[in-house]
Amino acid sequence: KVDMGTEPMADSPEEKLTKGIGGLPKRLAEYAALDAKFAKWRAVITIKGTELPTPANLEQNALDLATYARMCQEAGIVPIVEPEVIMDGPHTQARCEEVSEKVLTAVFNAITEQGVSVEGMILKTNMVVPGTESGEKATPAQVADATLRVFNKVLPNHLPGQAFLSGRQSEVEATANLNEMNKRGPHPWKLSFSYGRALQDSALKAWGGKPENLAAG
């Protein structure tokens, strides 16, 4: 794993850009020589009221994701494109839906402009959920409705698949929401998961790194 990290955007320090485009073709050639088949680039999108995200942040993150994807394909590596609208904050589910649509629209416009083969990439993005501080609770049906509305508007039918990130959802929430979406299929694209926390969190908490808790974990 090579994590180049993020940096504040010059004109909007509350927003972030992912570092690492410089020198990426050389690094990808090294990874391909080591038999790497997939790579992932994560762009973090912050919601704050109606001010953030700014159009400039959306455009730059979309361009970086598309540039990375093109470079991956040129190196013979499948790009996993991850624009994440993070859950932190008091924003509503409706605001998350609005921003998610803008983000994915910008990303696929940039992918087209960069000449990326959509058939040779995987999308990894967020579900449309309320912010963690909103006090709003969305049911699986509401999450499925909102997320699929965005996807049906924006995602190309020839995209092979979308692997959801879990954000801060529990394994129960993330699984129930994904299950509800797939119950409404078939869809033009496969809907799957790429969860870390949502598959391991309960087990890790039960274990806590202590040998005596191994069975509980």
Among this protein's residues, is 82 annotated catalytic? Answer: yes
Amino acid at 156: P
CA 80 to chain centroid, in Å, comes to 9
Element (H, E) at 85: strand 78-85
DSSP state of 120: G
Catalytic-role residue among 16, 84, 97, 124 = 124
* CA–CA separation, 165 and 99 (whole Å): 17
Closest C-alpha among 133, 138, 51 to residue 89: 133
Token pair for 108: 């696929």
Catalytic-role residue among 15, 82, 173, 180 = 82
44 C-beta neighbours (distance < 10 Å), count: 18
Listed in sequence order, the DSSP H helices in the chain are 24-33, 55-74, 93-113, 140-154, 171-183, 197-207
Among this protein's residues, is 124 annotated catalytic? Answer: yes
- Phi, psi (deg, nearest 5) at residue 5: 80, -175
Active site residues: 82, 124
